Amino acid sequence: MGLRCAIPKGRPMEDLLPYFEALGGARAWRDVSRKLILVDEELDITFFLAKSMDVPTYVEYGAADIGIAGKDVLLEHDKRVVELLDLRLSQCELIVAVPDDSGVQKVTDLHFNSRVATKYPRVAEEFFNSKGIQVEIIPMNGSIELAPLVGLADAILDVTQTGRTLRENGLRIVGSVAKSSLRLIANPVSYKVEFARIRELVDKMRRLVEAEVQVS
């Protein structure tokens, strides 16, 4: 039986394509249509296409032996998985941002009356607690930039790659929370049972990462 691998759909999957092609597979990815499961016979890996936030759950519960998830997702969900390799793909940063006209110049200017909108409530709580700042955290899904524009929040904690979306919505960064990129992870039990096969894959992917495989 081949390895089972959960991967995130969308842009992360596109970033991963040249890596798995370089390993000799990924032909099954070319026309994914609406499929949720792809069998890559060349690599002997069955891929599950999941939402990025769900990948660690598939891996933690053993539905997938391995998976690829953003560090931001791993920080937020704190699943029982083994982090094996930083793939240096889909690099972004978790940041705190406020409206351009806000008097807040740094994170510590926020106070207990401040409201922070985020898709990462766990990360936000840990971050502000570490700064000794008590804020009200408002969990949200999508379009986080809208919250300060309509008066719902004083600040946001979100991911950004270039900062362009923030600037286009009149927001500016006042603090950095953490760096993020795609990570190869494994189920702890699978990692023991399939150690040789998983380590072989890790070693091959590490060489590709170090060689900086480029999208064709």
Residue stretches of the chain with pLDDT short of 70: 1, 25-34, 213-216
* pLDDT value, residue 21: 81
- CA-CA distance, 124 to 105, in Å (whole number)? 18
Domain 92-178 has CATH 3.90.1150.10: no
Q: In what order do the strands lie in the sheet with 66-70?
A: 37-40, 45-50, 3-8, 66-70, 182-186, 82-86
**CA dist list (Å): 146 to 114, 123, 134:** 16, 20, 22
What Rg value do the Cα atoms of the chain yield, rounded? Answer: 19
CA–CA gap between residue 97 and residue 148 (Å, rounded): 9
| pLDDT score, position 23 | 82
What is residue 215's predicted lDDT score, i.e. its pLDDT? Answer: 44
The residue with tokens 């705190």 is 96
Spell out the domain ranges in the chain: 3-90+181-210, 92-178
* 171 three-class SS: strand
pLDDT at 11: 82
* Predicted local confidence at residue 216, as pLDDT: 42
Assess contact for 38 and 46: CB atoms under 8 A. yes
For residue 69, how many other CB atoms are within 10 A of its CB? Answer: 29
The answer to whether domain 3-90+181-210 and domain 92-178 are alike in fold is: yes
Residue whose C-alpha is closest to residue 116's, from 92, 103, 134, 94 = 134
**To which CATH superfamily is domain 3-90+181-210 assigned?**
Periplasmic binding protein-like II (3.40.190.10)
Tokens of 14: 């596109």
